């Protein structure tokens, strides 16, 4: 049997390289895109092939892989199954449009969707979108081949939520996969796209032109921060591939010429022995790529950062979130300000080139003073880069459940929306105030950096400037002070929309 696997992108999170540099090299049909590769479909393709199926991959960031072109491919070379993969709430409308277009191209081909948002909202999706026949909940490595082998008996496929006539049927959940070492490595060659290491911003910020890809060495997270849906997607469990299996893939990437790798693990820094073995393996095998990852500041592995640095880890991102203990506790972050300072300074002392801090502002109960304290705290940390996003509420998170309990959100009507907390929660400062405080905070941070760490700052600017025009550098530096134009704006809850006066 044959399958099309399509990754539907959020158009705010990729950009083609400017026209002159878009093709690489000109005429070979490949395009260069500033984005992360679609690891979900890259992971599933070789597994389906192992089961004897043919697979064609599509990624909508490619100018020739938009809904129209894929619909034409469906007509000319009809597959037996269409699988649509997308990550988040923000991409659901585009995924729905894709399903509708492909359904009209050939109404007989079953369409299955999967990914983080689809897994958490399966029943709602089937009720909402008649072009989608079923949702694969959770991991796809076992589910998708099982589904393809039993197209005429969907009731027997664990983890499938499907439509039986007018009824939506939720099959029993498929248990989490125990042995993640059993699968082949992702397919990084079939898509005619070179993914460029970059920042997903509205300014073209190319970080390097090295051959770049992502990789996943573990899944899940045992913590329960109130704004995050990873624990509910992975049943609060952390599972990993063995160091040997990870190193096998790393060797393959090295031999294929990859020189920059980003680990998309939710929490890479969890198991000391595994980290030690991976780092040792990278050094012993003389693997040439640099790599980056994300982790918690309280992990014991913080004292292994020297090993990681020796093994070419050049980027480390910490979820700092706030500069006050009150807000860290409100977010159930289970970390202290001391742990944050220690982790950041240990990373820098051990030679990690770029240490990044993720912060949020606009948390429940956060005051203007708390936000100013966060920026002051950030200024005192030895972070190289940082971002301060406004807190959002996504379905599947403890925060969402709080809002449903308080009557602010309604699961039935708001499930496919995303909200800035400042738009819906009266205990959060208004959006305008947050934006003003953020602009001032960024100005303080930039000034602080320039005067207190001028050499590091110039080095960083030089690194960013290598592949950017001066005009783009200036736009990048000014971007924190500008309002970002998103193709999909945050929503308002149904209750508030209903209360709005009718304009006619
Ligand atoms: C890397 C990443 C990004 C990258 C984008 C990567 C890319 N390819 O474009 C960047 C940084 C740009 C990003 C941006 C955003 N992200 Co993000 N991102 C991730 C992260 C950390 C890893 C994704 C990944 O590579 N996973 C590895 C692959 C192997 O897993 P997978 O794709 O889930 O695929 C598996 C299954 O889902 C399933 N599957 C996948 N597709 C299909 C299809 C079928 C048919 C079937 C049956 C199964 C199936 O099988 C696969 C193998 O088991 C996830 C967290 C996570 N653990 O998933 C968050 C996550 C997906 N992101 C999230 C969010 C919120 C966002 C943003 C909205 C954030 C923002 N600031 O605006 C944007 C929107 C981006 C978008 N919609 O494209 C949330 C989604 C929550 C939600 N309910 O919407 C997550 C879950 C993080 C979180 N903490 O909550 N993100
Ligand atoms: S934010 Fe990070 S630490 Fe918190 S639950 Fe999500 S993945 Fe785990």
The per-residue pLDDT string of the chain (504 residues; one tens digit each, 9 = 90 and over) reads 999 999 999 888 898 887 666 556 666 778 999 999 999 999 999 999 999 999 999 999 999 999 999 999 999 999 999 999 999 999 999 999 999 999 999 999 999 999 999 999 999 999 999 999 999 999 999 999 999 999 999 999 999 999 999 999 999 999 999 999 999 999 999 999 999 998 866 666 788 999 999 999 999 999 999 999 999 999 999 999 999 999 999 999 999 999 999 999 999 999 999 999 999 999 999 999 999 999 999 987 778 999 999 999 999 999 999 999 999 999 999 999 999 999 999 999 999 999 999 999 999 999 999 999 999 999 999 999 999 999 999 999 999 999 999 999 999 999 999 899 999 999 999 999 999 999 999 999 988 888 888 888 888 888 777 887 777 777 777 776 666 655 667 888 887 766 554 332
Its domain, for residue 65, covers: 2-170
β-pairing, 81-85 with 260-263? unpaired
**Can you give the pTM of this predicted structure?**
0.95
Q: What phi, psi does 160 have (nearest 5°)?
A: -90, 135
Q: Does 73 map to a domain?
A: yes
Which residue is closest in CA terms to ligand 2's atom 7? 266
Q: Does 201 map to a domain?
A: yes
Ligand 2 center from residue 401 Cα (angstroms): 17
Regarding whether 437 and 370 lie in a shared domain, the answer is: yes
Q: Pick the atom of ligand 2 nearest to 229's CA.
A: 6
Does 67 sit in the ligand 2 pocket, CB within 6 Å? no
Q: What phi, psi does 80 have (nearest 5°)?
A: -85, -25
3-state secondary structure of 114: strand
**Closest C-alpha to 62, from 23, 33, 19, 26:** 33
Q: Does 504 map to a domain?
A: no
**CATH assignment at residue 413:** 3.80.30.20
Ligand 1 center from residue 395 Cα (angstroms): 14
Q: Does 501 map to a domain?
A: no
Regarding whether 249 and 156 lie in a shared domain, the answer is: no
Ligand 1 center from residue 32 Cα (angstroms): 21
Which residue is closest in CA terms to ligand 1's atom 16? 88
Which residue is closest in CA terms to ligand 1's atom 11? 200
Ligand 1 center from residue 87 Cα (angstroms): 4
Does 91 sit in the ligand 1 pocket, CB within 6 Å? yes
Regarding whether 200 and 116 lie in a shared domain, the answer is: no
Regarding whether 391 and 438 lie in a shared domain, the answer is: yes
Q: Give 167-175's long-range contacts (Cβ < 8 A, gap of 24+).
A: 168/123, 168/126, 168/127, 170/122, 170/123, 173/137, 173/138, 174/137, 174/138, 174/139, 174/142, 174/143
If one counts every other C-beta atom within 10 angstroms of the C-beta of residue 273, the result is 9
Ligand 2 center from residue 234 Cα (angstroms): 11
Regarding whether 221 and 162 lie in a shared domain, the answer is: no
Regarding whether 222 and 162 lie in a shared domain, the answer is: no
Q: Pick the atom of ligand 2 nearest to 222's CA.
A: 8
Q: What phi, psi does 34 have (nearest 5°)?
A: -80, 95
The count of structural domains within the chain is 2
Which residue is closest in CA terms to ligand 1's atom 82? 88
């Amino acid at each position: 049997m044959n399958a099309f696997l399509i990754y539907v992108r959020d158009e705010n999170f990729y950009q083609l390289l400017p026209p002159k540099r878009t093709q690489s090299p000109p005429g070979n049909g490949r395009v260069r895109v500033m984005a992360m590769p679609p690891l979900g479909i890259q992971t599933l393709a070789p597994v389906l092939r192992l089961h004897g199926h043919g697979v064609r991959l599509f990624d909508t960031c490619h100018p020739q892989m938009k809904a129209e072109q894929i619909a034409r491919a469906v007509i000319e070379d009809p597959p037996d199954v269409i699988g649509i993969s997308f990550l988040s709430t923000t991409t659901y409308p585009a995924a729905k449009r894709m399903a509708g277009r492909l359904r009209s191209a050939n109404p007989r081909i079953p369409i299955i969707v999967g990914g983080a948002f689809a897994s958490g909202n399966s029943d709602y999706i089937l009720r909402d979108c008649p072009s989608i026949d079923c949702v694969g909940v959770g991991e796809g490595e076992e589910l998708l081949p099982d589904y393809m082998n039993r197209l005429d008996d969907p009731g027997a496929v664990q983890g499938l939520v499907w439509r039986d006539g007018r009824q939506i049927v939720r099959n029993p959940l498929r248990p989490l996969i125990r042995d993640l070492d059993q699968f082949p490595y992702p397919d990084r060659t079939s898509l005619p796209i070179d993914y460029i290491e970059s920042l997903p911003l509205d300014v073209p910020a190319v970080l390097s032109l090295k051959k770049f890809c992502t990789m996943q060495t573990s899944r899940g997270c045992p913590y329960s921060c109130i704004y995050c849906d990873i624990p509910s997607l992975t049943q609060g469990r952390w599972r990993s591939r063995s160091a040997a299996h990870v190193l096998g893939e790393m060797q393959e990437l090295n031999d294929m010429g990859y020189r920059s790798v980003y680990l998309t693990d939710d929490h890479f820094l969890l198991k000391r022995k595994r980290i030690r073995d991976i780092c040792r393996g990278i050094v012993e095998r003389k693997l040439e790529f640099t790599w980056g990852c994300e982790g918690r500041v309280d992990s014991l592995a913080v004292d292994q950062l020297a090993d990681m640095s020796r093994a070419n880890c050049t980027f480390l991102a910490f979820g700092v979130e706030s500069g006050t203990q009150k807000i860290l506790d409100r977010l159930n972050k289970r970390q202290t300000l001391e742990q944050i300072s220690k982790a950041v300074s240990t990373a820098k002392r051990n030679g990690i080139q770029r240490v990044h801090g993720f912060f949020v502002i606009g948390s429940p109960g956060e005051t203007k003073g708390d936000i100013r304290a966060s920026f002051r705290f950030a200024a005192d940390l030895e972070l190289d880069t940082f971002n301060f996003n406004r807190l959002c509420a996504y379905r599947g998170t403890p925060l969402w459940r709080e809002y449903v309990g308080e009557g602010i959100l309604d699961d039935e009507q708001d499930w496919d929306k995303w909200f800035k907390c400042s738009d819906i929660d009266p205990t959060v400062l208004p959006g305008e105030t947050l934006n003003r405080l953020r602009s001032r905070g960024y100005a303080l941070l930039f000034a602080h950096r320039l005067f207190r760490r001028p050499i590091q700052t110039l080095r960083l600017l030089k690194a960013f400037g290598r592949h950017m025009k001066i005009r783009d550098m200036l736009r990048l530096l000014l971007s924190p002070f500008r309002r970002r134009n998103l193709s999909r704006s945050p929503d308002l809850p149904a209750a508030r929309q209903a209360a709005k006066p009718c304009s006619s």
